[in-house]
Structure 1
């Protein structure tokens, strides 16, 4: 008993009860840390929607891979093979971006979040620009030369976009991919408005061509027209949201966040359905002839016979 009293009387000594209490607090504190990791940034439903949708799409790609690989090898379409590989890479990047959403609001993780966001959004932009380049080349896109031309233009555009964003991020210290303290960064919203405005103008040009005498220069595929309408609308809505947020409207930030969720959740499945799904379904048919027949049956070329 006297020995125990001497031990407890020493400076800095703690009783076993106190040590057990401290250990219990440490374990219990891990719960709030995990909870804040998921909910404190944008909320649980925001996090869950992004992760669940991106994970399901990656699982779907994996499920379809057994059928997709033989079709790609038999078809020998360089554009389809390259585009399918890019879709896989960007889908995995997007899944990582969704999983690590909490980095946006975690002190010390700003650099990692900015780098991950930069590569993810650039990959998705590469797919977007590549499909636009494919549309502008019309019905005669085939072979290695066409793939080189398509991806060359896309790589140049995306490379310039990465350089511009890197200057904003690391040169001027403007948090392009962090949505806190937005009132202090008006230049950020100006850049996003210009970025979305350029895309909206390009999609608007495609829509104009579809409804003009130059529509025969575009692929005869109804899905491409629907894709263009969807992306034009989403980019126009994003411009409106950026303008509201840049002027201090709280609703604008919420609307901008909604467009970001829609983009990361829906864009990759949309581009798969638009560009790749029919390629994997069709057997023994020339897709260009099929697409042309679909447009003709829909009355797309009726005016040419008048």
Structure 2
């Protein structure tokens, strides 16, 4: 009945729907082209990230037999735990490096967010556990020290991952998507808080090193150099997030550079600082023994006066 009375209206509706479909498809095509351009723009970035990640995995694989033999004879629960965690996070980071294209692939956003969430949580666990270890008494073979270290790092990482999950999946904040640029102020505000807390933590360890309580830190210059490097890196990352939040393109470029350095160089840097000496020589344990003997003999009592 309606069709008989209003044939012209029916034709107009059909014509309008047919005319809208090409425009909507063209919009989707333009969006796909933009995503493709973003991926092409980061081709060398992603390639460099993959190459360095693969090289580090190959290095760990070549050293695995010797390292496992050394761990079997060493009996250090702390080193064994860190080595296992390092392997797990390294493989996660390798997968994260390979699947960078998921950022630009429709339908892969959820998978990319989950992969990024687990990868960043694993790397943050390494960072926090090392901070907790540096601030503990130097007892490498103590199960109590191991339990306290991973308890502190586990709580911090769990809270961090929970907050990121709420913001990413609950409020659709693109924390792990580099294609949003400076258009999302909430994203950069959250990263500013994250980087600020890390910079404050490393700054506190540096303060302890130059205070009268520095004897609580492990007596190895490599550990101090690690804290200095990570403090400077966290400060640069904080600065880049601040610039990006203000809408400056320099901030986006600098932040992408910090992400590249973190995911490609942090794990090798951590291995060289904390584990390489243990696998290559006995000096790591000898330094701890010498330090304990000097502490018991009262060599550091003058610093407390």
Fold conserved between structures, TM > 0.5: yes
C-alpha displacement of 1:282:
1.6
Counterpart of 2:210 in structure 1 is 211
Q: Deviations over 1:197-240 (max 9, x none)?
A: 00100100111111121111111011111000111011100111
- State the match for 2:20 in structure 1: none
Rounded to whole Å, the distance in 1 between the matches of 2:227 and 2:290 is 16
* Structure 2: gaps (5+ residues): 1-31, 295-299
Secondary structure, aligned partner of 1:40:
helix
Any stretches of 5+ residues in structure 1 without a counterpart?
A: 1-32, 296-300
Change (3 A) 1:284 1:178: closer
What is the CA-CA distance between 1:138 and the residue it aligns to? 3.0
SS at match of 2:182: helix
Q: Tell me which residue corresponds to 1:4.
A: none
Instruction: Report Cα offsets for 1:10-30 as digits up to 9, x if no partner.
Output: xxxxxxxxxxxxxxxxxxxxx
User: Cα distance 1:212–1:113, how it changes in 2: closer, same or farther (>3 A)?
Assistant: same
Q: Distance in 2 between matches of 1:79 and 1:190?
A: 35
> 1:41, 1:104 within 8 Å by CA — same for their partners in 2?
no
Report the alpha carbon displacement of residue 133 of structure 1 after superposing the two structures with TM.
Answer: 0.5
**Contact conserved, 2:192 with 2:241, CA < 8 A, in 1?**
yes
**Cα pair 2:222 2:273 within 8 Å, conserved:** yes
Query: Would the aligned equivalents of 1:38 and 1:44 in 2 still touch at CA under 8 Å?
Result: no
**Partner residue of 1:225?**
224
Give the equivalent residue in structure 2 for 1:18: none
The alpha carbon displacement at 1:304 in A equals: 4.8
Corresponding residue for 1:186?
A: 185
TM, length-normalised to structure 1: 0.81
Tell me, yes or no, if the aligned pair for 1:41 and 1:105 is still in contact at 8 Å: no
How many residue pairs were aligned? 268
Q: Compute the displacement of 1:39 (Å).
A: 7.7
Q: Check the 8 A contact 1:55/1:95 in 2, yes or no.
A: yes
Residues 249-294 of structure 1: CA deviation (Å, up to 9, x unaligned): 011100000000000011000110111111111248734347849x
Superposed, 1:16-31 pairs within 5 Å as none
Is this contact kept in 1: 2:49–2:263, CA < 8 A? yes
Give structure 1 regions of 4+ aligned residues with deviation exceeding 4 angstroms.
36-39, 290-293, 303-306
Please give the alpha-carbon distance, in whole angstroms, between the structure 1 residues aligned to 2:290 and 2:99.
Answer: 40
Is 1:60 the counterpart of 2:28? The answer is: no
Deviation at 1:182, TM superposition (A): 3.3
Closer, same or farther: CA 291–96 of 1 in aligned 2, 3 Å: farther
Q: Deviations over 1:104-163 (max 9, x none)?
A: 111111111111000001000000001000000032343222111111111111000000
Return the offset for 1:90. Answer: 0.3
Matched position secondary structure for 1:139: coil
- The equivalent residue for 2:263 is 264
RMSD of Structure 2 on Structure 1 (CA): 2.7
